[in-house]
Every structure is written in C-alpha cells, then in structure tokens.
Amino acid sequence: MVADWSQLPKELLELVAKRIPITVSDNVRFCGVCSFWREVGVEQRVHFPNQLPGLMVKGGDITKRIFLECTPVDDGGGEGGSWYEFIKQTTILVPHVFACSGSSHGWLVLIDDELNMHLLNPFSREEIQLPSVTPHDPHYGSYRFNKWYMTKAILSSNPTTSPHTYVLVIYHMTIYICKLGDK
C-alpha cells in the first residue's frame, strides 16, 4: 500500500479520474491533491462529454461571485430532459475593481480601471499578467477609455497546458492579440 498519495501509479489515477462525477468543480478538487494529480486531472478534461458552461453571478457582496454548475434532468423520455438543475454552487472571491470581459478554458479575463489585464483561474487562484490595453486613437483625442469598453476576450488554448497561448481582445472596435509573456 502506498502511503504517499502522489506516488500512486498514473494508470490507477487515470481510472479514478474517469470514474469521478464529471463536473468542473469535481475535477478541480481532484487536481488540487498535488501536482501529479493535477497533471492527470488536466489530461482527463479533454475526455469530458459536452457540458453546459457554468454560470457566474454576483454574490452577496461586491468581492464575491457565485459559480453555478448545472446538469440535465431526466424527464423519463429516454433521451435526457430539456430541463436543467443546478447541482453545485461555489463562492469565488474576485475583487470588484475588475471587470470580467470574457472566460475561456476555465480562466477569467479581467481588466481594472488603469486598463491592466490579467487572467485569473477562479478555482486555483492562479493569476497571469497580460500586457496593458492602452489604445491610441487620434480620432478621440483626450477622450478617456475605460475598462467597460472591452467587449470580448478569448484564449487560443489553456495556459496551464500550452506554452503558446494567445489572447484576443476586442477593445472599443479594435482587435488586440498578444501571446502570454508579451510586454
């Protein structure tokens, strides 16, 4: 019997990961055991069946968000129901000064009042700084841009598993693209 959870054989962990309930939060908890379990759990995410995306809403105060996961409810028709129920509710701390302009591959794309951007994994709390968006549009002169002008942000891949992740941002009718690590 292995006393150290991180020393379990990879094949055994893959079997365990395939049998746990297939929700994002369960996979995040599996990945939280240690770095080796995280490696196996992240690999298993590509085998998840299609799921509805989670829903993030404001919590009770300005520093919290509630993440809700839902699952289809079987209506007895054999094909699965068209109704859904919330199965998990997780409270996540996200500072209110940030506007969330998108989410992709489990990461939130956040921007603050000074137009500084970063990625936040709301479950692991890992942050990755991105280059600041500083638009220089001569048509607007000294007009003040703000974080609410960012309408969309997406990632090309998961930054946890890919060293070549790009971020595409639409900010005030202009498209910006950067690679993680750019200044």
| pLDDT, average across residues 12-23 | 75
Clarify whether residues 62 and 104 are in a common domain. Answer: no
| pLDDT, average across residues 153-181 | 81
CA–CA distance, 69 with 62 (Å, rounded to integer): 21
Clarify whether residues 106 and 40 are in a common domain. Answer: no
| pLDDT, average across residues 67-73 | 61
Q: Which residues pair with 107 in a beta bridge?
A: 104
Asked whether residue 4 is domain-assigned, the answer is: no
Q: pLDDT for 76-118, tens place per residue?
A: 555 544 555 666 666 666 655 677 777 777 788 887 777 778 8
What pLDDT is stored for residue 179 in this prediction? 83
pLDDT at residue 144 above 60? no
Clarify whether residues 73 and 144 are in a common domain. Answer: no
What pLDDT is stored for residue 66 in this prediction? 65
Close Cβ partners of 30 (under 8 Å, ≥ 6 residues apart)? 16, 17, 20, 37, 41
pLDDT at residue 177 above 60? yes
Tell me which residue range forms the domain holding 141: 97-183
Sheet containing 166-171: order of strands: 150-155, 166-171, 174-179
Asked whether residue 137 is domain-assigned, the answer is: yes
Asked whether residue 5 is domain-assigned, the answer is: no
Clarify whether residues 107 and 178 are in a common domain. Answer: yes
Clarify whether residues 88 and 158 are in a common domain. Answer: no
Angle between helices 24-31 and 10-19 (to 10 degrees): 160
Clarify whether residues 59 and 33 are in a common domain. Answer: no
Clarify whether residues 81 and 126 are in a common domain. Answer: no
Name residue 139's amino acid: H
Clarify whether residues 104 and 177 are in a common domain. Answer: yes
Query: How many structural domains is the chain composed of?
Result: 3
Query: Could you give the percent of the chain with pLDDT greater than 90?
Result: 0
